[in-house]
Amino acid sequence: MTTARVDWAGGLRFVGEADSGHLVIMDARSQEGEDPGACTPVEATLIALCACSGVDVVSILRKMQAPPRAMSVSAEAKRSTEHPKVFTEIRLKFHIEGDVPEGKARRAVDLSEDTYCSIRAMLGATATITHEIEIVP
């Protein structure tokens, strides 16, 4: 079982901790419109999707003997206008640098998307998730 908790740190800020013992600070825009001092929980969810997919793709490419020299995963997302304002569309972009054959890159992304990325599986219940891959030698 995985566990997590957050402690209120004043305002709308919370400090979270999970089983790993690492701390995560999250905040929200106040009713007065003040900018949050940390990422919001919704932003953190999108970051988690990028990281989850990225971990999978790097791991798979290493196993395929085609490790990237560098890689980034970015996301653009649309949310519903009605509460709970879930993600409805997410577009991931995998920017892969190095001597990575296109077929291996596509296979790694597909495996992450279809089999391994648990965050994607959860978000896929409410959002259409698409992707593009850019490879730079």
Flag whether pLDDT at 15 surpasses 80: yes
| Residue ranges matching CATH 3.30.300.20 in the chain | 41-136
pLDDT digits (tens, 9 = 90+) for 62-121: 999 999 999 999 999 999 999 999 999 999 999 999 999 999 999 999 999 999 999 999
Q: Under CATH, to which class is 41-136 assigned?
A: alpha beta
> For residue 34, what pLDDT is reported?
76
Flag whether pLDDT at 31 surpasses 80: no
Mean pLDDT of 12-20: 96
Flag whether pLDDT at 33 surpasses 90: no
Q: Is 50 helix (H, G, I), strand (E, B) or coil?
A: helix
The answer to whether 54 touches 73, Cβ cutoff 8 Å, is yes
Which one, of 105, 44, 49, 89, lies nearest residue 73 by Cα? 49
Q: Is the pTM of this model over 0.85?
A: yes
Whole-number percent of the chain with pLDDT over 70: 100
| Residue ranges matching CATH 2.20.25 in the chain | 1-39
pLDDT band at 30 (very low <50, low <70, confident <90, very high): confident
Is the CATH code 2.20.25 the one for domain 1-39? yes
